[in-house]
Structure 1
């Protein structure tokens, strides 16, 4: 199986600019306005007026960059747009229709159909389902239609109004405009102060310090992270091998992910033992590479042990050279199978004391096809077979004699395009269980 190339790592970072809702909104608004006024760009004075008008919407873009409106908060986003229409009674309906059409073309056809077909082999007819997932998605990504539409309807309307008016109009309305921006800022602040109340409480104390044993409990630890495996869907799936590990090991029934529940954030917290505000990775869009704290891989090096993380290119942004990358550009039916083969190669050639494996097919199916369909259960069941094959291979190689297995997920997945991050139903609680000769059997 190929590693992620330098180009794929670069492309993954670029894609996050379009995937994460905060950078997507200004990029989409700017691109839409340029396309809509493409015929004006031949005139230097029109270009000057267009970009001058853009400067006056920067405060609005900043407000929407600072504040997310996930889950039910997005329902309130139409209020500023309605207030704008009441005050100025202006809206370019051709521009709004053009922007809505461009948005659904990008999400449903470019992203949900072309992108997923080329990257993981989904059907050319994926758009027949993906439009429903975009409308249902509640997380603050670009694929959240109910959050993105009112945002760029308002920004585009303000920008177009200023662009079409004369300089004298701006002189007369500048105070009214910035009073409106003040209203939007206070509105967003009050909403988040009073209604954004579902984040998990932060633990202010660390795990009790138990006495260090004189000898290591296990010779090896292998962590298999089934990315994006929603907990109740896992319980519904037919997974005899994982069920056997779970029932003959120790299962943690209330294991939570962190906030925001993005893959890179979750993996970083899992292998540093800290919160995002401490380790510095706040989303999949990593503005500054690397973490601010010590990782488990750093800790292992201090005592002469080794660890490897086998995963997709995104994880390099936080964990750097401790990641052995796999390409995410392959048919989704082959992804986990190839990852397991790569894991065998690492165990043969490097034999690390800690190996972390990220299985990605379940997550990718959730994003491309939704989590409430049979295809999602099928991918969980395939993951069960891959884990069984790998553990049986480890046993034959003599690498299970004093090894602890940890099976978990980094986050769950919500309805829609398998969105995760802001802890909608199905995101927060994750499967987590341990199995091994020194792990209590049948304990919950």
Structure 2
């Protein structure tokens, strides 16, 4: 299987400007205004007038970039638009209809059909289902229609009003507009302070403050298989005999919680640093500055002369750099996971890392492109079960499972809709998570709530490496035989 090329890595970063909801809004507004007025912009004066009238619009774009409006909070986005209509009553209906049509063309046809066909081989008729996902999506992507529509309709209306005033030479009451922005800022702040209350609670202390640093390894190797975007209840509904056997003969954490925002690069970074976005610096799939601000599990392993590798998509390089072995995400979705597992065998045979993390992507990609409540999504989970069985069987034949701990988990769940994860809607927050191996308790279920930030310190604990610098997660000692003896 090919590694992700330099072009693919750059293209993935560029695509995230359109994928992630925050950068998409200003880009879409700018593009829409240029397209709508392209015939009018024949002279420098008209073009400069358009951009001069953009300047007073920048503050509202900044407000919408700073504040998320997740889940039901997005319903409140219509209130500023209604206030604008009452106070100014200045709307270019042709512009708003053009913008709405352009938005659904981009999300349903360009993204949901052309993009997914070229990248993972979905049908040319994918738009017949994809429009439903765009309307349902509640998460932090550009495909969140219920959030994007009130945002860009308001911003476009204000910009168009200012542009018309500039062209006609009329004076604009900028003070009133600034007061309106002040209202939106206070409104957003009040909403987030009083209603945005479903983020997972964070551990406040560091791991080293309540667990003794390991002095010797418990396991010779650890293998972590992350089935990206596997929704917990859909996993339980799928026919997965091998994963079920591992789960029933190991320790399952039935209330394992992901982090907020539940985006892939954020979740992986939190899992393998042991801390949260505010500390490691990765706050979305759109990574503005490459690399993390804290140590990772890979850094911890290097301190004791051990090696860890992560096999995953190009996005993860933005966070963890050279510790990632990339795989290309440009292939038919039916071929993705089998090819990843072929590459996994090659890495284990040639590099033999002490910690090996594998990201399976087909389940997540199917949820994004086809939805999680359809048979195709279940089929990808069942395919993952067969691939994991084959991989573990191969490891056993190679003599690499004698004292190896195996983790199976998801980085986040998925809601029903394009994007499908980020704001912790139904199906996103709690993920499948279980451990199996000679040092792991058998047939045990832990119902106490835990967080995925516990992954990194638990890996350190098992492999005899120091906890990473800012690790806050709790070591999952309940799953480890005689693990409680090491608590401070």
Q: TM-score, normalised by structure 1?
A: 0.98
Q: Would the aligned equivalents of 2:231 and 2:412 in 1 still touch at CA under 8 Å?
A: yes
Q: Which residue of 2 aligns with 1:13?
A: 13
**What CA deviation, in whole Å up to 9, does each residue of 1:279-311 have, x standing for no partner?**
111111001100111110011111010110000
> Equivalents in 2 of 1:168, 1:112: separation in Å?
41
Residue of structure 2 in register with 1:178 after alignment = 178
- Assess if the C-alpha contact under 8 Å between 2:408 and 2:435 holds in 1: yes
Once the two structures are overlaid, the 10-residue window that deviates more, 257-266 or 210-219, is: 210-219
Which stretch of the first structure deviates more once superposed, 191-200 or 119-128? Answer: 191-200
Correspondence for 2:245? 244
The superposition leaves residues 325-371 of structure 1 with CA deviations (integer Å, 9 ceiling, x where unpaired) of: 00000000010000000000000100000000000000000000011
Partner of 2:438: 437
Q: What is the CA–CA distance in structure 2 between the aligned matches of 1:22 and 1:54, rounded to whole Å?
A: 18
Q: What is the CA-CA distance between 1:134 and the residue it aligns to?
A: 0.1
What residue number does 1:165 align with?
165
Q: Which residue of the partner structure matches residue 30 of structure 1?
A: 30
Partner residue, 1:387: 388
Retained in 1: the 8 A contact 2:405–2:435?
A: yes
Instruction: State the aligned residue count.
Output: 444
Q: Structure 1 residues 398 and 40, CA, compared in 2 at 3 Å: closer, same or farther?
A: same
Superimposed CA distance per residue, residues 243-293 of structure 1 (whole angstroms, 9 cap, x where no aligned partner): 000000011111110111110010001011011111111111001100111
Cα deviation digits, residues 357-394 of structure 1 (max 9, x gap): 00000000000001111111110000000000000011
Deviation at 1:171, TM superposition (A): 3.8
User: Given that residues 268 and 279 in structure 1 are in contact (C-alpha distance below 8 angstroms), is that contact kept between their aligned partners in structure 2?
Assistant: yes
Q: What is the CA distance between 1:165 and its match in structure 2?
A: 1.5
- Please give the secondary structure, in 2, of the residue aligned with 1:40: coil
Displacement of 1:206: 3.8
Native 8 Å contact 1:363 1:418 kept in 2 = no
Cα offsets for 1:36-84 (capped at 9, x unmatched): 0001221111111111111110011111111111100111111111111
CA deviation string 1:206-261 (max 9, x = no partner)? 44644556542111000000000011110111100000000000111111101111
Paired position in structure 1 for 2:278: 277
Q: Which residue of 2 aligns with 1:124?
A: 124
For each residue in 1:388-423, what CA deviation from the matched residue of structure 2 results, as whole angstroms up to 9, or x when unmatched?
A: 000001111111111110000000111112521111
Q: Which residue of 1 aligns with 2:472?
A: none
| Gap runs ≥5 in structure 1 | none
CA contact (8 A) 2:60 2:155 kept: yes
Partner residue in 2 for 1:356? 357
Structure 2 CA distance for aligned equivalents of residues 337 and 348 of structure 1:
17
Which range is displaced more, 355-364 or 208-217? 208-217
**1:408 alignment partner in structure 2:** 409
Find the aligned partners of 1:258 and 1:371 in 2 and give their Cα distance: 20
**Aligned CA distance change for structure 1 residues 211 and 59 (closer, same or farther; 3 Å):** closer
Confirm whether residue 150 of structure 1 aligns to residue 150 of structure 2: yes
Any idea what SS the aligned residue of 2:113 has?
Answer: helix
The change in CA–CA distance for 1:161 and 1:269 in structure 2 (over 3 A counts) is: same
Task: Name the residue aligned to 1:399.
Answer: 400
1:32-71 to 2 correspondences below 5 Å: 32-71=32-71
TM-score normalised by length of structure 2 = 0.89
Report the equivalent of 1:110: 110
Contact 1:370 1:418 in 2 (8 A): no
Question: Relative to 1, partners in 2 of residues 1:167 and 1:341: Cα closer, same or farther, differing over 3 Å?
Answer: closer
The aligned runs of 1:253-268 (5 Å cut-off) are 253-268=254-269
Cα distance in 2 for residues equivalent to 1:10 and 1:442: 45
Structure 1 stretches of at least 4 aligned residues deviating more than 4 Å after TM superposition: 166-170, 207-214
Q: Deviations over 1:166-213 (max 9, x none)?
A: 489764511111111111111111111111111111111244644556
- What residue is the counterpart of 1:420 in the other structure? 421
**Which has the larger displacement, 207-216 or 309-318?**
207-216
Distance across 1 between alignment mates of 2:154 and 2:324: 42
Given that residues 49 and 167 in structure 2 are in contact (C-alpha distance below 8 angstroms), is that contact kept between their aligned partners in structure 1? no
Equivalent residue, structure 2, for 1:205 = 205
SS of residue matched to 1:165: helix
In 1, the alpha carbon distance for the partners of 2:275 and 2:227 equals 21
1:334 counterpart residue number:
335
